[in-house]
Amino acid sequence: MAMNALAATNRNFRHAARILGLDSKLEKSLLIPFREIKVECTIPKDDGTLVSYVGFRVQHDNSRGPMKGGIRYHPEVDPDEVNALAQLMTWKTAVADIPYGGAKGGIGCMPKDLSKSELERLTRVFTQKIHDLIGVNMDVPAPDMGTNAQTMAWILDEYSKFHGYSPAIVTGKPIDLGGSLGREAATGRGVVYATEALLAEHGKSIKDLTFVIQGFGNVGSWAARLIHERGGKVVAVSDITGAVKNPNGIDIQSLLNHKEATGSLNNFDGGDAMDPNELLIEDCDVLIPCALGGVLNRENAGKVRAKFIIEAANHPTDPEADEILSKKGVIVLPDIYANSGGVTVSYFEWVQNIQGFMWDMWDEEKVNKELHRYMTRAFGNIKTMCQTHNCSLRMGAFTLGVNRVARATVLRGWEA
């Protein structure tokens, strides 16, 4: 069983704190969330019966700016995992050098069992319960598993009933309500920019390499599409429905069309079906896990044949797997850097909303160019930390993020 997400994140944090020589009281203070919120959300179902759900929000740190993080609608909303993800957002925003802290939240429910109007009522009740604990300069939610741009539109509307029109209260909104062009593809595009920065460091480029991608949802499909466009060979792809491989490279557009038409990756004629459990140990240059946490663990890490692993998912690599991979000389690009494209473009959306000036009405290129600048700069900063502390990329990213948050905390007078 993979190590608990919170335990793994705390372990990485403590390791970084030791490398940085942080004061032990400060270290303890940085781990404790600023606030945890739990609310009851009761709604009438379409048949008139009442049903109650538990909604929550973990606000981890606000030393560098308002808190930022997704809202997920999922039946197993585990408090430990939400805590871990809120904390990861604190380090991720610091690594990307955007002025936010971390948060995460959600509602324990099964979204596919609720009608659209039930989801709307649930979202509005949740917003009513937390509206005075979130805010444009306090905590800015975003979509996550089981939520989307429509969910954000409902939150925006409900919040605005209390506070006046506030487009900057959430990001990942529909374009017509102040959403940003390029947000949809942002995490996947950021993954590709991060991959390019890492490969360039090793004198390689996407064009000459083979890729395996686990997960073909938003992030995986965009990453695959952009790698394919750049001449990279995607040799295997999997999602919850199955897995496909083709050593000569899968035509990603046809696979997207097939998934759109049939709802699954099965029976695709541009490749052969394979066991999804074998995907992570498939022969390739670059492995990109874009699905769940804890997929690389002590059982399979020794069999990984990729030379590079790009963590597009949150905590896909368990700390035990980290050690095994590092002994094998596999280079792991950590999640808190690799998947920060989404929150970076969310930041661009929020900036435009608070200015009341949308710069990307004319071109998505500006968004992509800015994203590229942020991702490239962050990679350089991580490499500097790796050289200073003679550590892995993961510890380079963690020390970079933790150090920025610690400095902000001390400057603001944390003991006062």
Token pair, residue 162, equals 């209390």
Determine if residue 353 is labeled as part of a ligand binding site. Answer: no
Beta-carbon count within 10 A of 121 CB: 19
Which residues lie closer than 8 Å to 247 by C-beta, 6 or more apart?
235
Helix (H) or strand (E) holding 319: helix 319-328
Show the CA angle centred on residue 351, arms to residues 188 and 193, nearest 5°.
25
User: What torsion, rounded to 10 degrees, do the Cα atoms 399, 404, 410, 414 define?
Assistant: -90
* 12 assigned binding-site residue: no
104 is annotated as an active-site residue: yes
374: which 2 tokens? 């942020």
Q: Is 147 annotated as a binding residue?
A: no
The one catalytic residue among 104, 173, 233, 245: 104
How many whole angstroms from its chain centre is CA 212?
19
Q: What number of H helices and E strands is found in the chain?
A: 13, 12
Tokens of 16: 């970084």
Residue 62 is assigned to a ligand binding site: no
CA pair distance 166, 24, nearest whole angstrom: 40
307 a known binding residue? no
Dist CA 62 CA 33 (whole Å): 10
Rg, the chain, Cα only: 21
> Are 68 and 100 within 8 A, CB to CB?
yes
Extract the annotated binding site.
Answer: 68, 92, 187, 218, 346
Residues with catalytic roles: 104
Extract the annotated binding site for NAD(+).
Answer: 187, 218
Extract the annotated binding site for substrate.
Answer: 68, 92, 346
